[in-house]
Amino acid sequence: MQKKYSDIRKKLQITVDKTTDSGLAHLTHYFQNHTNGVSQYFKPTATSYLADLHADLNILQDPDFQYYLPIKWDIPFPPQTNPKFKFIDLFAGIGGIRLAFQNLGGKCVFTSEWDTYSKKTYEANFGEVPFGDITKISEKEIPDHDILLGGFPCQPFSIAGVSKKNALGRAHGFLDETQGTLFFDVARIIKHKKPKVFMLENVKNLVSHDKGKTFKVITETLKELGYSIHFKVLDGKHFVPQHRERIIIVGFRNQIFKTKETFEFPKMSETKFAIKNILEPEVDKKYTLSAHLWNYLQEYAKKHKAKGNGFGFGMTDLNGISRTMSARYYKDGAEILIPQEGKSPRRLTPRECARLQGFPDTFLIPVSDNQAYKQFGNSVVTPLIQAVGKNIVKELLKINEPKKTKVAVY
């Protein structure tokens, strides 16, 4: 008989806070992957962690997985029961990329995110606690997968080590140039695990960062690792009422696709979105800006306008789209303000922020407003990612389908 995840969560007191360690990640990953060929990555630690939990919580029953499996996943986004492919979710945030690829029939077999509050939101929605800091996780601890996914932070690359290596007469690859950055961790995992496909997401500025050098090092590293690279800057406004440009980099493994993949980025719909359609009908007055803050924002904008700068608040046209929401939205909400008749404007509610990124209303928000603003500001436009993912999966299934009898997911 299936056991409800909500009951297991209660019995084992599964909560995510600053004391949460990787044991809980192993346990929840094992719960979700105990029958799909990757359980060996999680079972040993999950077994000892379960025994420790039983002892700490004075549970008299034996710490045996037979009392917990199989699980009925009563969470908003349960794992696929008959998946078409496997993927991993790096720099996972609150799971916007996972949601898109899960919707396309994929099964997530590993996830990593360092922020405690993001992990809390992730577990509430997907029933899985992400592993922590990717820089401390060996590539050997990561299960095999078809697609690697990640939105890594943009960081400059140092070229200090390059001339030194040349002087020593040692050849250096582009991978060496990326050491000390989080992109290096993506590259080392790709090098070791050799996924068939990867998709990376980043801010539009990555292309021009450091006069284009950063982007060149990234693309050359990925080519050096044996991948055919496709990239494009796409705008979320074709899917939600928000102007949000992001660079998407997709790579197909040459050894498998022979550079013959017919992948194309999705054609952008001309549908016009309006922010008024994502607003809640009734909003708590706490979201209205205080007279003091509203006055400050107006004075600040006036001062910068006089200097010829473009800094200032963004009063949103309700029939149009908003500016880009950022992780600093929690500070004052200045970039996206909603006009209100006869009073100061208001900021968006966390639920409206979720909608602005394309998350369904079933997505749970178990954290404070400030944390929610940071999380959605750092997230992705999920329907845009899903549109790109649909074309990636189409290519993947062309090569996966013929081998189905040999390499079954389950």
The pLDDT, as a whole number, for residue 161 is: 40
DSSP secondary structure of 275-330: GGGGS-SS--GGGBPPHHHHHHHHHHHHHHHHTT------BPPTTS-B----TTHH
The pLDDT, as a whole number, for residue 173 is: 59
DSSP secondary structure of 242-267: B--EEEEEEEEEHHHHTT-----PPP
Q: Are 70 and 2 in contact (CB under 8 A)?
A: yes
Can 77-270+381-403 and 275-378 be said to share one CATH topology? no
Give the pairing type, strands 3-4 and 245-253: unpaired
The confidence band for 172, taking pLDDT boundaries of 50, 70 and 90, is low
Query: What percentage of the chain carries pLDDT values higher than 70?
Result: 91
Residue 257: count other Cβ atoms within 10 Å of its Cβ. Answer: 20
277-327 pLDDT per residue, tens: 999 999 999 999 999 999 999 998 888 777 776 667 889 999 999 999 998
Integer Cα distance of 290 and 287 in angstroms: 9
Which residues, in sequence order, are bridge partners of residue 87?
108, 147
- What pTM, to 2 d.p., does this model score? 0.92
The pLDDT, as a whole number, for residue 168 is: 47
71-125 pLDDT per residue, tens: 999 999 999 999 999 999 999 999 999 999 999 999 999 999 999 999 999 999 9
Query: What percentage of the chain carries pLDDT values higher than 90?
Result: 80
Q: For the CA atoms of the chain, what is the radius of gyration?
A: 23
Architecture of the CATH domain 275-378: Alpha-Beta Complex (3.90)
Q: Secondary structure of the chain: what % helix, strand, coil (to 5)? A: 45, 15, 40
The pLDDT, as a whole number, for residue 378 is: 94
The confidence band for 404, taking pLDDT boundaries of 50, 70 and 90, is low
- Is there a catalytic annotation at residue 108? no
3-state secondary structure of 12: coil
Strand ranges across the sheet with 227-235 = 106-111, 85-90, 147-150, 197-203, 245-253, 227-235
The pLDDT, as a whole number, for residue 403 is: 57
* Domain extents in the chain: 1-74, 77-270+381-403, 275-378
Task: Please give the CATH topology (third level) of the domain spanning 77-270+381-403.
Answer: Rossmann fold (3.40.50)
Choose, from 154, 248, 336, 348, the residue flagged as catalytic: 154
8-63 pLDDT per residue, tens: 999 999 999 999 889 999 999 999 999 999 999 999 999 999 999 999 999 999 99
**What are the phi and psi torsion angles at 135 (to 5°)?**
-70, -20
The pLDDT, as a whole number, for residue 330 is: 93
Cis link prior to 78 (omega < 30° from 0)?
Answer: no
Q: List the one residue out of 330, 294, 327 whose CA is nearest residue 313.
A: 294
Q: Are 252 and 227 in contact (CB under 8 A)?
A: yes
| Token digits of residue 71 | 């699980």
What's the whole-number mean pLDDT along residues 338-365? 97
The pLDDT, as a whole number, for residue 154 is: 67
